[in-house]
Structure formats: structure tokens, C-alpha cells
């Protein structure tokens, strides 16, 4: 018979264990019901301890009746769930399966208060305003970009949009008919939709901003001390794209190698990958996240583009097969318009194009998301490489730079990671972060680099797996 842990791995679902049904404090488990329904769904196992041991239930049928009664009384609107009795080691437990709901948000209701919950890691927490707004739009089957704004058509112009459309398609933009056809004008014909407001020449959507910083070194510090360059841009999203790309171009270098036939340019970053990453950020960001903006952070060794809003379906990109990520759009009107403007080729191609640009390189892009942010990390292809010119052949050779302050710092940290993994292969990224007193993002980046170098592998899956060292860790010093 399969163990409970094996069954959970087979389910591949979010879950929680409850040793018993808490009738006096039903919120302790009903908030998880709300969170699962508002997210990807999941299961609550009653009669199981947190240490994965089946404690059993004295009366499984009575417990099932109470669970059903409390869900119907305390969760609004009503949701679909399944109660399944399971026998483990001769003990009866109950599996409560909650499916991802279509009528979000699902609230826990008690004492005149209604609270919507969502999942953060292994916890169910109260949804903040921007998450609640997304849940409301999802339940109404609407998107932010399609909603009518407060801005009047007669007060706005679309010179930049018209010029871009003419340049890319060869056709003139006919106003206001094409704006209506493209979803930039609301049904009234008087007011712009939110995407219309984002594309107006005088865009007044406060969250339409990009903050750009070129940091001195490998980590953030004081912008007044360690920023080599910084700029803040706001307004029309086409302008944001242009300004963001210009900032990046102005802050990376293009090396070159001379061959007998020609001169070969070697830019720090692929322009195609950079463009796709920034376009993805602009199209798919959460514009309801008040006080947020896209961030472009450039370091000596990498470029990070951080966009407000995680994956639309609540999944985490780092847990997915990057060769098969479904195309789900938070802002379908913006996405369609960018396709019309030929700024993107086709739906769902962005991540594939970014990864393709790094084929054959050990410095693979890293994608990370949680409930509030999506981060794309592109590595500097020339970092750690110096140009050594052979005077006789006049041919440039790539020589690994062994000794620099920053590379040594990276290697020391990765050696410490390998030492910790060698003593405890099940150590988590959070535990590594706390032990080493560095950010979790830095740990994830180092783990990915060690995997790319073939020094470590992940065995047994993400949830119950462990890290294994497959190559001498001293190799990390010479990369």
C-alpha cells in the first residue's frame, strides 16, 4: 500500500495536514479552504499530524458531516468540494479536496466580516488589495485593461500610437474607429478603456512607470553611493519600452573578437532576450497593484527585470517545465495590440525566444515568480572574461578571469553552499538564505548556476527531493 507521502506526490497538489477537526476554531482550516478555492485548489487531510503520521479520526462520517456543514455556512459564494475517506495503516482519515473556483473571490464569513485568503508558500493569509482586485476581476471574467477608465477620449491624443502603427504595419490608424475596434475605447464611446489610457500620449495612469538602476557591484545598496546610473520613466507604455531599452543599451558593453574573416561583436546581453523580457513585463504586469512599477536592475554580472504580479494562474514559474508553459494573459487587450504593432510575434513565444538566445551557454536565464512579482534574470555573457590579444595572430582569445574581487566573493559563497549541501542534502533555499545571511534570490541564483555547471543535481522532485553533489566543488572556483 502506498504511504501518505507517496499519495501526495502522486496528487501533485497543494495540501495541509490537520490532526483533528477544530470545531471551536473553524477559521484555522476554513481559511485554507478559501485560499485553495481562490488559487489552484488543494487538499486538506484530517486525521494526519504535521509530521506526516496518520493519527486517525474517531468518527470519520461525523467529521465529514461537520466539515460539509461548516463550509456551506462559512464560505461565500458556495464552492465545489469533495470528501474522500482514506485508510492508512488501519486508521481512517479524510481528504477534503477543494477545486480552483471560477466565482472568485471566495470569502471566509463570520461575525459580520468577510475575508478572502490566498496561499503564500505553505500558509493561507489574507489577500492584500491588489490580489483581491485580481480575484474580483477573475470572478467577473474581466481584465483590468478592458475596463472603462475615467479619462475622456476628447481630452487625449494618440500621436505616438498612430506613428508606431503606421511604421510597423504600413497602414494609417483611423480615429476613433480603430480605437474602438482595438479595445481602446469603452462601450460609451466617450471614455477610454484602461489600455487606451495607457497608450494615450499624455498617459496619466500612475502605475505606468519603470525605475532603472545600474548598480556598482553584485548587490543593491544605497542608490546615492552604489548607483552608477539611474532613471525613472512614466507615461505611455510604448515610451516606457523605448526608454527602458535605451537605458539598458547605455549601460552594457559590446566587446568584439577579430577573426581572419570578420569582426565578431560580443554584447554583454542579447538584444532579443532583453527586448522580449521587457515586453513581457509591460504586457503581463499587474496594473492594479497600487504604488508598484517595473524595475530594471543592472549589476556587474546580471540584469534583472522585476514586474508586479506573479503568474496569472497562481503557479510558480520556477516549478514549471519551461518548454511547455501555457499562454495565459493577464492583459489580453494589451497583448493583442502589441501583436498588431508587431512588437511581439505570437502568443506565448516570449520565454522560448529568451531561452533560445542562450542556447549553448552555461549562463542560462532564470525565471522566478511568487504571488506578487515576476523576475527575469539575464546573465552578462562577458562577465568574468577578459580580452587577451595574441599579437602574432591578431586574434582575440577568451580567457577566464580567475581573480577578481567579485568573482572570489561569488565562489566563496557557492563553496559554502556546497559544504552545507554535503552535510544536509535536504536543506532548503530558505534555510540556506538564513544560514548564510544573504537573500533567497541570491541563493536561488547560485543554485541555478551550480546546476548549470553540472556540480549539483536535484533528485526526487522539488517537494521531497534532495540536492546531490556530482562534481568536485572546487570546479566552481574555475568557472
Beta strands in 121-193 (DSSP E): 123-126, 148-152, 191-193
What CA–CA distance (Å, rounded) separates 455 from 295? Answer: 32
As to burial, measured by CB atoms within 10 angstroms (0-12 exposed, 13-18 middle, 19+ buried), residue 31 is buried
- 415 vs 213, residue with greater confidence: 213
Q: 387: which 3 cell numbers? A: 580580452
Q: Is 314 a domain residue?
A: yes
Q: Is 390 a domain residue?
A: no
Are the CB atoms for 419 and 432 separated by under 8 Å? no
Burial 64-92 (b: 16+ CB within 10 A, else e): beebeebbeebbbeebebebeebebeeeb
pLDDT for 392: 35
Of 199, 220, 237, the residue that ends a domain is 199
What CA–CA distance (Å, rounded) separates 252 from 268? Answer: 6
Q: Picking from 292-296, 342-346, 397-401, 454-458, which range would have the lowest pLDDT averaged per residue?
A: 397-401
Indicate whether 187 and 222 sit together in one domain.
no
162 CB-side CA count, 13 A? 13
In the chain, how many domains are there? 4
What DSSP designation does 277 have? H
As to burial, measured by CB atoms within 10 angstroms (0-12 exposed, 13-18 middle, 19+ buried), residue 373 is middle
> CATH no. for residue 368?
3.30.565.60
Q: Measure CA 276 to chain center.
A: 15
- Looking at the predicted structure, is the pLDDT value of residue 429 above 80? yes
What CA–CA distance (Å, rounded) separates 308 from 291? Answer: 10
3-state SS assignment for residue 285: coil
Indicate whether 176 and 278 sit together in one domain.
no
Q: 53: which 3 cell numbers? A: 503520521
> CATH no. for residue 428?
1.10.10.10
Q: Is 67 a domain residue?
A: yes
Strand bridging mode 263-267 / 191-193: unpaired
**pLDDT tens across 339-365, in order?**
999 998 766 568 889 999 998 888 899
Counting every residue, how long is the chain?
479
For residue 452, the enclosing domain spans 402-478
Indicate whether 173 and 244 sit together in one domain.
no
Q: Which residue has the cell 462559512?
A: 74
Q: Is 301 a domain residue?
A: yes
pLDDT for 223: 56
Radius of gyration, alpha carbons of the chain = 26
Indicate whether 350 and 246 sit together in one domain.
yes
Q: Is 432 a domain residue?
A: yes
Q: What angle, 0 to 180 degrees and rounded to 10, lies between the N-to-C axes of helices 27-38 and 60-74?
A: 70
pLDDT for 12: 45
Q: Which residue has the cell 514586474?
A: 307
The share of the chain scoring above pLDDT 90, in percent, equals 55
Indicate whether 172 and 151 sit together in one domain.
yes
**pLDDT tens across 14-68, in order?**
888 999 999 999 999 999 999 999 998 999 999 988 877 888 999 999 999 999 9
Indicate whether 366 and 226 sit together in one domain.
yes
pLDDT for 217: 86
Amino acid at each position: 500500500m502506498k504511504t501518505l507521502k507517496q499519495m501526495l506526490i502522486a496528487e501533485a497538489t497543494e495540501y495541509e495536514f490537520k490532526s483533528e477537526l477544530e470545531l471551536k476554531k473553524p477559521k484555522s482550516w476554513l481559511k485554507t479552504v478559501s485560499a485553495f478555492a481562490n488559487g489552484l485548489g488543494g487538499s486538506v487531510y484530517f486525521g494526519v499530524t504535521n509530521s506526516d503520521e496518520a493519527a486517525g479520526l474517531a468518527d470519520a462520517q461525523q467529521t465529514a458531516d461537520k466539515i460539509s456543514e461548516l463550509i456551506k455556512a462559512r464560505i461565500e459564494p458556495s464552492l465545489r468540494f469533495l470528501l474522500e475517506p482514506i485508510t492508512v495503516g488501519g486508521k481512517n482519515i479524510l481528504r477534503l479536496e477543494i477545486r480552483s473556483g471560477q466565482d472568485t473571490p471566495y470569502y471566509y464569513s463570520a461575525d459580520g466580516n468577510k475575508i478572502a485568503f490566498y496561499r503564500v508558500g505553505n500558509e493561507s493569509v489574507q489577500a492584500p488589495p491588489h490580489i483581491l482586485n485580481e480575484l474580483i476581476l477573475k470572478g467577473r471574467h474581466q481584465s483590468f485593461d478592458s475596463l472603462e477608465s475615467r479619462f475622456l477620449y476628447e481630452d487625449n491624443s494618440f500621436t505616438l500610437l498612430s506613428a508606431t502603427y503606421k511604421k510597423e504595419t504600413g497602414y494609417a490608424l483611423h480615429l476613433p474607429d480603430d480605437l474602438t475596434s482595438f479595445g481602446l475605447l469603452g462601450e460609451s464611446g466617450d471614455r477610454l478603456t484602461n489600455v487606451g489610457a495607457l497608450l494615450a500620449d499624455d498617459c496619466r495612469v500612475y502605475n505606468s512607470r519603470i525605475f532603472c538602476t545600474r548598480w556598482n557591484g553584485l548587490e543593491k545598496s544605497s542608490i546615492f553611493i552604489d548607483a552608477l546610473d539611474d532613471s525613472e520613466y512614466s507615461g505611455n507604455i510604448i515610451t516606457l519600452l523605448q526608454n527602458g531599452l535605451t537605458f539598458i543599451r547605455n549601460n552594457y558593453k559590446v566587446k568584439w573578437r577579430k577573426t581572419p574573416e570578420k569582426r565578431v561583436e560580443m554584447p554583454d546581453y542579447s538584444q532579443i532576450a532583453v527586448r522580449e523580457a521587457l515586453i513581457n513585463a509591460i504586457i503581463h504586469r499587474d496594473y492594479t497593484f497600487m504604488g508598484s512599477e517595473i524595475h530594471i536592475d543592472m549589476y556587474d554580472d546580471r540584469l534583472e527585470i522585476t514586474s508586479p504580479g506573479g503568474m496569472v494562474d497562481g503557479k510558480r514559474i520556477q516549478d514549471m517545465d519551461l518548454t511547455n508553459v501555457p499562454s495565459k494573459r493577464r492583459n489580453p487587450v494589451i497583448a493583442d495590440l502589441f501583436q498588431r504593432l508587431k512588437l511581439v510575434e505570437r502568443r506565448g513565444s516570449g520565454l522560448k525566444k529568451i531561452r533560445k538566445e542562450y542556447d549553448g551557454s552555461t549562463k542560462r536565464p532564470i525565471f522566478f515568480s511568487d504571488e506578487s512579482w515576476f523576475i527575469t534574470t539575464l546573465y552578462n555573457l562577458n562577465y568574468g572574461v577578459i580580452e587577451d590579444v595574441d599579437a602574432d595572430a591578431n586574434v582575440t582569445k577568451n580567457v577566464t578571469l580567475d581573480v577578481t574581487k567579485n568573482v572570489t566573493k561569488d565562489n566563496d559563497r557557492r563553496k559554502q553552499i556546497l559544504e552545507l549541501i554535503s552535510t544536509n542534502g535536504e536543506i532548503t533555499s530558505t534555510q540556506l538564505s538564513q544560514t548564510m545571511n544573504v537573500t533567497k534570490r541570491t541563493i536561488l541564483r547560485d543554485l541555478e548556476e551550480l546546476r548549470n555547471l553540472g556540480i549539483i543535481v536535484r533528485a526526487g522532485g522539488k517537494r521531497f527531493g534532495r540536492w546531490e553533489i556530482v562534481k568536485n566543488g572546487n570546479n566552481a572556483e574555475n568557472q
